[in-house]
Structure 1
Amino acid sequence: MKNARDFLIVTNNPLLAQCMGDCYELSFFPDCSYREILVKVRDLVYVGHTLYTHPLSGSVKPNETPYKSIAVSKVPHAFSAEQAGIIAECILAADKFPPRTRALSEAVKRDFQLIDYTLLAGALEFDAAAGLSKIKNHE
């Protein structure tokens, strides 16, 4: 993984924003859906940003979780058709799943936030436990 100064995390995950916000540059979109985060990342890729983590990382299916966090280059470079293809395929894959219609309890939301946070922390070699220790009342 690149140096923390070299990348940007695009996320809608409030837990990740709390735990990593003082260590990494974030674009935090708390009101965006999983798919909307993919579209924001696609727009960055289209102007030359590079994907540093795969948009469909982990085993949680798109639309099963409302949270998504993706690391991209902080500075755009040359447009990459390969990168554009990856993010476009990820959006198509997410669109194949039916939208989530049931409301999630706060406990389930916290679980999904923790899964997303842990996946990105692992990819960034970030000490997830140390990040969580900063949060009061995290269950």
Structure 2
Amino acid sequence: MKKDYIIITNNPLVPQMLDEEHEVDYSEISYEDVLGKVRDRIHEGHLLLSHPLSGSVKPNETPYKSVMISRKAGKLDERSLSIIEGAIRSCAKFEFKSEKYREFMPETFKDFQLIDWTLLQSAISSADVW
């Protein structure tokens, strides 16, 4: 039986770590595009279940982001919309340099993936208890 939430992510580690009980919407997209995808789902009536700027990692410091939303959609939730739009505005303040990621060793990307996964695990633990 599927969980009551969906995980939207660009982190390839996430679908590898979760079983079929978890619905993972994985795409090879940018951090900013993950937030845009979450915003679109909130407009469809899904609730935001994890903060889009969780952790102490700034948006321009990592290429990976995972966000949880509700499985069920209802009416538009203004609070969820306000939070995701604020996160998108915050991201716009940072200068993203995709070329800087090309300089990283493959191990660095694995570290970024692990950081995002660890933050997501905390959110999953809370959601599963709820």
- With structure 2 as the length reference, what TM-score do the two structures score? 0.89
Residue 21 of structure 1 deviates from its aligned partner by: 4.3
Residue 88 of structure 1 deviates from its aligned partner by: 0.4
SS class of match (1:63): helix
SS class of match (2:90): helix
The match for 1:11 is: 9
Percent identity for Structure 1 against Structure 2: 41
SS class of match (2:59): coil
Of 31, 35, 44 in structure 1, the residue corresponding to residue 32 of structure 2 is 35
What number of residue pairs does the alignment pair up?
Answer: 123
Root mean square deviation of aligned Cα: 1.6
SS class of match (1:9): strand
Aligned amino acid, residue 124 of structure 1: I
| Structure with more helix by fraction | 2
CA distance in 1, matches of 2:80, 2:14: 24
Structure 1 segments, 4+ long, off by >3 Å, are none
SS class of match (2:3): helix
CA distance in 2, matches of 1:41, 1:28: 12
In structure 2, list runs of 5 or more residues that go unmatched: none
CA distance in 2, matches of 1:82, 1:16: 26
CA distance in 2, matches of 1:5, 1:44: 17
The match for 2:122 is: 122
SS class of match (2:107): helix
The match for 2:65 is: 68
Residue 53 of structure 1 deviates from its aligned partner by: 0.4
CA distance in 2, matches of 1:28, 1:60: 21
